Structure 1
Amino acid sequence: MSEDTVGLAPAGPFPPAERAAVYRAIRERRDVRGQFRPDPIDPALLRRLLQAAHDGPSVGLSQPWNFILLRDPALRARLHAAFQTANAEAAARFPDRAALYSSLKLEGILQAPLNLCITCDRTRGGAHVLGRTHDPSTDLYSTACAVQNLWLAARAEGIGVGWVSIFRPEDLRSILRLPDHVVPVAYLCLGHVRELHTQPELQARGWGRRLPLDDLIFEDSWDSRPTA
């Protein structure tokens, strides 16, 4: 297909207010654990969030994601139990910070009105996907882009999102009955929130800090600092 037959639109920056809103969503996005309200997410709003994720970039336009909506209380109780098992294992890896670790709330599985698992179908697009021929992991990166799209859209809509990463992958696979070729990428808790931290919670609680951007910028090769 020639470029002349492809639909094109003018390029250029957004108006200042719209541009500022994009950067605000990025800057104020938070990983929410314990501020969820019980009221449900409006179906039309949820649809907008899922559409934002589905609008994400994907290698070879493969769109490898699926979205599993998790509302059943009994199912979520099983998932919470699986988290607790994995979290006990994780806590043992930080013996020098045990008290701080135990004080952190790392999930909202039972509190959030909706849980969502975003998966990656490693077979989507067939055996050979444009752009994935030399790096098979690009479908996983694509799915992560969908997650970020949803997260930023959720911030703009006033919906909190918390990513629960402390699971044994085999537990998620078993409980959600995932086929072998499907990988769970992100387990998310979603809901309206009472408030948000003004800085990342782990920074506020003293677990870590945001690194200075200038320390992370190289030019032309690893560990070669920009000259200007």
Structure 2
Amino acid sequence: MSDFSAADIDAIYRVIAQRRDMRHFCGGQVPASTLRRLLLAAHQAPSVGLMQPWRFVRITQSILREQLYTLVQQERQRTAEALGERESEFLRLKVEGIKDCAELLVVALKDQREQHIFGRRTLPEMDLASAACAIQNLWLAARAENLGMGWVSLFEPDDLKALLGMPEGSHPIGILCLGPVAEFYDKPMLEIEQWAQRCPLDELVMENGWSDQTEQ
């Protein structure tokens, strides 16, 4: 296996830096061959014990898309109420692109995950960590293909499970909006909207033990 060139390395870091959680889409289509490449990239993600806990449900029925939109809007309102004094500020944010994206995918953890002990005996949440790696792979591959992607987590899991007829023990973790965009945000949208700011790296890196860098 050959080494990567300097241009290859630069491209990888550039894709990581320019990945965005997109909310604004412009319709269009994702070619079947491209979607297949993206899902293969997701499926090549690492997983603890090689359990491959991810499952992807492609939504192609317009009625299901509308029902997913309704679920998200219901949770959006509940989240806004739970935020108290930031309720109105939150409601001004665009939190999904379900109606406008070219492709809609639901990502879930498979059922019968308790059978996988390797790497999960003390950390059962590693199934979620593994699925998150798959989503990140898909996200980076989408950006390399100049496609936007947004991860939506505003929904009641049990309602989504019922809507899609998911088996007992499975667990939905995200609705992915995928497709062409007019442009990518210069910065994360929540920074642009002044909802939050990215922490400096040095505040999050410790050495030889836990320390609160913000107090130094």
After superposition, residues 116-195 of structure 1 pair within 5 angstroms as 116-124=105-113, 127-195=115-183
Matched residue, 1:5: none
Give the alignment partner of residue 42 of structure 2, picking from 48, 53, 56.
53
Moved over 3 A (4+): none
1:103 aligns with 2:92: yes
User: What percentage of residue pairs aligned between the two structures are identical?
Assistant: 42
CA distance in 2, matches of 1:49, 1:82: 26
CA distance in 1, matches of 2:56, 2:157: 17
* Structure 2 spans left out of the alignment, 5+ residues: none
Give the CA deviation at 1:93: 2.0
Q: What is the letter of the counterpart of residue 107 of structure 1? A: E
Matched residue, 1:41: 30
CA distance in 2, matches of 1:68, 1:50: 11
Give the CA deviation at 1:199: 0.3
CA distance in 2, matches of 1:203, 1:106: 14
CA distance in 2, matches of 1:204, 1:188: 21
Give the alignment partner of residue 66 of structure 2, picking from 61, 74, 77.
77
Give the CA deviation at 1:122: 4.3
- TM-score of the superposed pair, with normalisation by structure 1: 0.89
Give the alignment partner of residue 16 of structure 1, picking from 6, 23, 29.
6
- TM-score of the superposed pair, with normalisation by structure 2: 0.93
CA distance in 2, matches of 1:137, 1:200: 27
CA distance in 2, matches of 1:153, 1:169: 27
1:99–1:133 distance in 2 versus 1, CA, 3 Å: closer
Give the CA deviation at 1:224: 7.0
1:26 aligns with 2:16: yes
Task: Tell me which structure has the larger Cα radius of gyration.
Answer: 1
* Structure 1 spans left out of the alignment, 5+ residues: 1-8
Given that residues 49 and 116 in structure 2 are in contact (C-alpha distance below 8 angstroms), is that contact kept between their aligned partners in structure 1? no
Q: What is the letter of the counterpart of residue 16 of structure 1? A: A
* Number of residue pairs aligned between Structure 1 and Structure 2: 213
> For 1:74-112, what per-residue CA distance to the aligned partner results, in whole angstroms no more than 9, with x for missing partners?
011111111111111111122322332121110111111
Given that residues 51 and 116 in structure 2 are in contact (C-alpha distance below 8 angstroms), is that contact kept between their aligned partners in structure 1? no
RMSD between superposed Cα atoms in Å: 1.6
1:113 aligns with 2:102: yes
CA distance in 2, matches of 1:224, 1:175: 44
